[in-house]
Amino acid sequence: MVYSLRFCVKSSPNNYKTDSQIKLRNDNLFHPLSKSPIKSLQERGELIRKFGKCPVCEGLAKENQKRPSYECSDCGIPTHCSEEHYKHNLIEHKLHTCKMLREFNEDMHDLMSGRKMKEFEFPSSQPLDEEVNMLNWDTYLYTRGFPSIDQDRSLRHVSKLLTYPITIGSVLHQNGPYTLRNRLTNEGLKSLTALRTTLHPKQTSVDIKTLRPAETVRIFIVGARAEAQMPLHIYTQLSYLFPTITFHLHFVGPESLLRGTEPHTTHFNHYLSFTWKNSLYHDYHDTIHPFDPYCDAFFLFNPGIGRNNGKELWEKTIKQLLKTKCAIFITGFDENDMKNEIQTIEEDETFEFDWILEPGENEFKSLRRDIDTEDVRIGVYPNWGIFGIRGKRYDVRHYDEEEGAIEIKEEEEWEETEEIKRIGAGGMTKQRIRH
Amino acid sequence: MVLPPVSQYHQAKGYGQTPALQRARRPFFIRNTITGLLLLGFTGAVYTYSIMAVKQDDLSDVSMPPPPAENK
């Protein structure tokens, strides 16, 4: 009876848009960029023509190098400077790049097709007793009640959008994919347990007398780029994972703001605030002092520490981050990128740190590649891999040596002042016993 | 009577599983199948054992009343 009734329920009409608004049908997504019906994609093609490079010309002398202008008929992206060079390089192009670029071409046309993007109808909060399974994208989307995402293409769109907030959420959440048996180290468990006591409070009392003021969890996204420009509502997906917690996200870095915008703070809703700061992190560090490993975490999304002059840019920042003893998570574009980052960090002996999450693939990476305009052969997955470190803590020290004694004294003083500031500033009742 | 809405993961028809649900279930599929087989095996074994132990009862231990006298 129940079932027969259910079957009668007609699915509501999905297409509110009239035919004139839909520019491209599902079976008509491939267009060479120069002949694309979408203007912004034509411009993208122009950019590649202007700044890209031809893989055959690369081996020639500088004055003979030309920008790509010939579009491969299978992927529709300007890849080579002439048909001659294209034919010369055909096998390599077909083997390594053509498929990836074709996918990129169709994905971008699908995004701009004007169809109703059903997969972007994100769910809002869910009942407290409905747990989220953060094992991978599929279980997350299912247990959070996202619309059923059946096409790989739609999944790519959604993962590209959600990779930043959900990577943060998946690492911190108690049902996250990383456990002691899967890459998390003992030190990592200590760090995450500290954060999780704040993030998953035991709701033992609703009595106003014993109720504690909710703590704000601060997440610092250092060296923010694309993630700082995303529509803010996608970050609500992070706060739906931790329904009672107020988050304050700080986007720090010279590229976190568009040119001509001032640093500012927004209170998006009761649970979410954002701050954008376009100075380098090490200039910002002192203004957000003190730090608390129970409430603060750092995320560096694809920072490029291992690239050409990355070390000099990041050295000061990383030293300060390690000093805070808060958890630091760093992602990379691919295996090589991550290896370089790790090597750079490990090489420097002045960085004293513990591993908290061993390097490996990120379950919540973006499934759509970003194509490099300057060299279309390079297509990377944002947040492909992730690892975590934290400044080393020394619990036992020798008092006989003079140096050691001084060091300890300094640290104690620092923690005292931190405690005083904390009590003075927020009137916090919570006392934490450390060591 | 208010019915809960049909989950989108069971397609428009209201039954079957969408590819998204199949993907979400995949990590658990093998272990769930093994657990299912174990449970089925156990109940099956209990059922078979009890039938074997009792066998078919011919009710010979039940004392029967004398057959009714013939009416003449």
Same domain membership, residue A93 and residue A168: no
Q: Where are the domains of chain B?
A: 30-54
How far is residue A156 CA from its own chain's centroid? 15
Inspect the interface and report whether the beta carbons of A135 and B13 lie closer than 8 Å: no
- Cβ atoms within 10 Å of A76's Cβ, excluding its own: 23
Helix axes A186-199, A152-172, angle to 10 degrees: 90
Query: Does residue A89 belong to the interface with chain B, where contact is any CB pair within 8 Å?
Result: no
The mean pLDDT of A59-72, rounded to a whole number, is 81
- Give the span between the Cα atoms of A143 and A176, in whole angstroms: 13
pLDDT of residue B13: 74
A196 in any annotated domain: yes
Q: Is B8 in contact with A2 (Cβ distance < 8 A)?
A: no
Tell me, yes or no, whether A231 lies in a domain. yes
- Given CB atoms, is A206 within the 8 Å cutoff of chain B? no
Average pLDDT, chain A: 83
Tens digits of per-residue pLDDT, A99-151?
999 999 999 999 888 888 888 999 998 888 889 999 999 999 999 999 989 88
Helix (H, G, I), strand (E, B) or coil at A142: helix
Q: Judge whether A426 lies within some domain.
A: no
**Cα–Cα distance between A341 and A307 in angstroms, integer?**
8
Closest alpha carbon to A288 in A265, A268, A269: A265
- Strands A70-71 and A216-222, by their bridges, are unpaired
Listed in sequence order, the residues at least 6 apart from A371 whose beta carbon sits closer than 8 Å to its beta carbon are A77, A100, A101, A104, A378, A379
Q: Does B20 touch chain A (CB under 8 A)?
A: yes
More confident residue, B56 or A390: A390
Q: Does B26 touch chain A (CB under 8 A)?
A: yes
Alpha helix ranges (H) inside A363-426: 402-426
Tokens 């209990």 locate to: B46
- pLDDT tens-digit readout, A148-205: 898 899 999 999 999 999 999 999 999 999 999 999 999 999 999 999 999 988 765 5
Instruction: Please judge whether A9 and B6 are an interchain contact, meaning their C-beta atoms are less than 8 angstroms apart.
Output: yes
**Is A268 within 8 Å of A232 (Cβ atoms)?**
yes
Residue B43 C-alpha, separation from nearest chain A C-alpha, in angstroms: 29
Tell me whether A433 touches chain B (CB under 8 Å): no
In a domain, A123, yes or no: no
Q: Do A148 and B27 touch (CB under 8 A)?
A: no
Residue A383 scores a pLDDT above 60: yes
pLDDT number for residue B48:
95
Asked which of A112, A129, A145 is the last residue of a domain, the reply is: A112
- Going by pLDDT thresholds of 50, 70 and 90, the confidence category of residue B72 is low
Percent of chain A at pLDDT above 90?
37
Q: DSSP per residue over B9-64, as a string? A: GGTTTSSS--HHHHHHHHHHHHHHHHHHHHHHHHHHHHHHHHHHHH-----TTSPP
* Residue A133 C-alpha, separation from nearest chain B C-alpha, in angstroms: 10
pLDDT level of residue A400 (50, 70, 90 thresholds): low
Distance CA A36, CA A353 (A): 50
Q: Is the pLDDT of residue A219 over 70?
A: yes
More confident residue, A399 or B64: B64
The predicted structure's pLDDT at residue A397: 62
Contacts by B18-21, CB closer than 8 A, 24 or more apart = B18/A148, B18/A150, B19/A150, B20/A138, B20/A141, B20/A142, B20/A148, B20/A149, B20/A150, B21/A142, B21/A148
Residue A126 lies in a domain: no
User: Does the residue A193 lie in any domain?
Assistant: yes
The answer to whether B8 contacts A138, with C-beta atoms less than 8 Å apart, is: no
pLDDT of residue A34: 87
Residue A429 has pLDDT above 50, yes or no: no
Decide: helix, strand or coil at residue A264: strand
Q: Do A139 and B27 touch (CB under 8 A)?
A: yes
pLDDT at A403 > cutoff 50: yes
Query: Is residue A155, in this structure, part of any structural domain at all?
Result: no
Q: Which residues contact A402 (CB under 8 A, 6 or more apart)?
A: none
Q: Is some CB atom of chain B closer than 8 A to the CB atom of A211?
A: no
Q: Does A9 touch chain B (CB under 8 A)?
A: yes
State which of A164-168, A229-233, A277-281, A378-382 shows the largest mean pLDDT. A164-168
Domain hosting A334: range is 161-201+213-391
The reply to whether residue A150 touches residue B9, judged by beta carbons under 8 angstroms, is: no
Instruction: State whether A174 and A75 are in the same domain.
Output: no
CATH code for position A194? 3.40.50
pLDDT of residue B4: 75
**Residue showing tokens 């293409």:** A153
Q: How many domains does chain A have?
A: 2
ipTM of predicted complex: 0.73
Closest residue in chain A to residue B12, using alpha carbons only: A11
Task: Inform me whether the C-beta atom of residue B6 falls under 8 Å from chain A C-beta atoms.
Answer: yes
Instruction: Give ∠ CA A151-A153-A159 in degrees, rounded to 5.
Output: 105
Q: Do B24 and A147 touch (CB under 8 A)?
A: no
The shortest CB-CB distance from B19 to any of A2, A5, A150 is to A150
Q: Do B19 and A135 touch (CB under 8 A)?
A: no
- Asked if B9 contacts B21 with a C-beta cutoff of 8 angstroms, the reply is yes
Does the structure show a pLDDT above 70 at A67?
A: yes
Phi, psi of A275 (to 5 degrees): -130, 135
E strand or H helix that includes residue A79: strand A78-80
- Residues in contact with A261: Cβ distance below 8 Å, sequence separation at least 6, in sequence order: A276, A278
* Model pLDDT, residue A211: 64
Q: Which helix (H) or strand (E) holds A344?
A: helix A335-347
What average pLDDT does the segment A412-424 reach? 48
Q: How many whole angstroms separate alpha carbon A382 and alpha carbon A159?
A: 10
| Domain identity same for A107 and A237 | no
What distance in Å separates the CA atoms of residue A395 and residue A428, rounded to the nearest whole number?
Answer: 26
Reported in sequence order, the residue ranges of A256-407 that DSSP labels E, i.e. its strands, are 264-269, 272-277, 296-300, 327-332, 353-361, 370-371, 379-380, 385-391
Look at residue A164 in the predicted model and tell me its pLDDT: 95
CB contact under 8 Å between B24 and A150, yes or no, is no
Write out pLDDT tens, residues A319-373: 999 998 999 999 999 888 899 999 999 888 888 899 999 999 999 999 999 988 8
Query: Minimum mean pLDDT among A95-99, A257-261, B42-46: which range?
Result: A257-261
